[in-house]
Structure 1
Amino acid sequence: MPTPLITLENIGKTYPAPAGDFHALADIDLAIDRGDFVAVVGASGSGKSTLLNLLGGIDRATRGRIVVDGHDLGAASERALTAWRGRGVGIVFQFFQLLPTLTALENVMLPMDFARRGTSPARRDRALALLDRLGVADQADKLPQALSGGQQQRVAVARALANDPPLLLADEPTGNLDSRTAQSLLEGLAGLVRDGLTVVMVTHEPRAIAYATRSVSLADGRIVREERIDA
């Protein structure tokens, strides 16, 4: 059997609070294969965003073990974790978080600049290719404020893919989009998965789940249901 891209073993995440410890996640065991498109669903406060933060190395688990593409995130130093995040994972946010003073092209090139990936012309060529793959190459020289919400989100996906990570994390990527634009974005993500990318997406929208290959339902910080939903 192939080794999963992501393995979580007995994961727990606890935050101290005045009224007592808050257990955001408890007893999470999960394996995600390469090429999976996983929709993580659940009510507000169920632990969805906490799980995504742990997978992205933004936060650390209180207990348990997380391995992503052979990297034990809990055992890594902060420096090693930062270096891994630069190349090992791309993150897409609900509100895009593009730098307003940079063009779409420059926003996509930025992660490659930080990682010192290739030459400047090579970075530009890759950024243009990604914008073209996401259908917004004609917006390359525009600032984010000149783009629609859907265009900004596509640029954000291109930026997340700049360093060719094996994993894309998406936190409510359609939450700030109209239904037609959201559908187009989800179709784009599904196409990337067919090309070999692994996507873990937090969502509360039932329509988004239809594009995934698996769904994982959380409640009170625990997995209450897993379902394979591809044909």
Structure 2
Amino acid sequence: MDTPHQESLLIDARDLGRRYPSAAGDVVALTGVSFRISRGEFVAVVGASGSGKSTLLHLLGGLDRPSSGELWVAGTNLAALSEQALTQWRARQIGFVFQFFQLLPTLTVLENVMLPMALLGEWPRSSHRSRALALLDQLGVSHTADRLPGTLSGGQQQRVAVARALANEPPLILADEPTGNLDSRNATTLLELLASLAAAGRSVILVTHERHHVPGVQRVLALSDGRLLPSDAT
């Protein structure tokens, strides 16, 4: 297969499949999933529990590998990377936003946002603090910089989680049910924030159980029993 070369193309998934072994035989999580996502798109992946949403997100984020098919993200064939190279690639290319925030409870808000920079090692250490503070300020939570995550509201913690996801300026944001622990007002605010990131040029993929229109989403990929519904494949 040819390497995707379009400047606007960020994700090219080709006939992806994922099977997991079990005592009762292989469990098929994904079958024949193909789609493309451009830079700056805000895409929702929807489906019932067990439809394959989380599996697909893990593949896109380099947390898992497909059993079949090909996956190109940001011009890289993920199957060609060693585990060490994949870890570095993930730190540089992907920002994760989780439902349960996943902030380290013993680190301050500022330290949580600085941590990805330290792990990647591509930013001068002297710039970590100022870059983290700028992100927190951009997201309206700079006043929480010296507090521990457990002292923040759910909405504040999720904004800090977004700041952490942006720390290394990744082109792709993967959000796994990020509104699941937020009230309706904070959920709407977060979705507007994710839409603004897409408008600024980042691709955002939002995994959600919601089937109604999600504010700001430009396209919906619907999964059912591990298969992408045909009308959503383009």
TM bucket normalised to smaller: over 0.9
Q: How does 1:61-210 map to 2 (within 5 A)?
A: 61-206=66-211, 209-210=214-215
Tell me the CA shift for residue 207 of structure 1.
5.6
Tell me the CA shift for residue 72 of structure 1.
0.6
TM-score normalised by structure 1 residue count? 0.95
For residues 113 and 76 of structure 2, the distance between their equivalents in structure 1, rounded to whole angstroms, comes to 25
Deviates more, 1:187-196 or 1:218-227: 218-227
- 1:28 maps to which residue? 33
Tell me whether 1:50 sits opposite 2:50 in the alignment. Answer: no
Equivalent residue of 1:125, what SS? Answer: helix
Tell me the CA shift for residue 2 of structure 1.
4.1
Equivalent residue of 1:132, what SS? Answer: helix
- 2:14 maps to which residue? 9
CA RMSD across the alignment: 1.4
Tell me the CA shift for residue 147 of structure 1.
0.4
CA contact (8 A) 2:192 2:215 kept: no
Unpaired segments ≥5 residues, structure 2: 1-5
Deviates more, 1:61-70 or 1:124-133: 124-133
- 2:3 maps to which residue? none
Residue identity (%): 59
AA aligned to 1:61 is: P
Unpaired segments ≥5 residues, structure 1: none
For residues 154 and 208 of structure 1, the distance between their equivalents in structure 2, rounded to whole angstroms, comes to 22
CA contact (8 A) 1:209 1:215 kept: no
Tell me the CA shift for residue 209 of structure 1.
2.0
CA contact (8 A) 1:215 1:227 kept: no
AA aligned to 1:204 is: H
Number of matched residues? 228
TM-score normalised by structure 2 residue count? 0.94
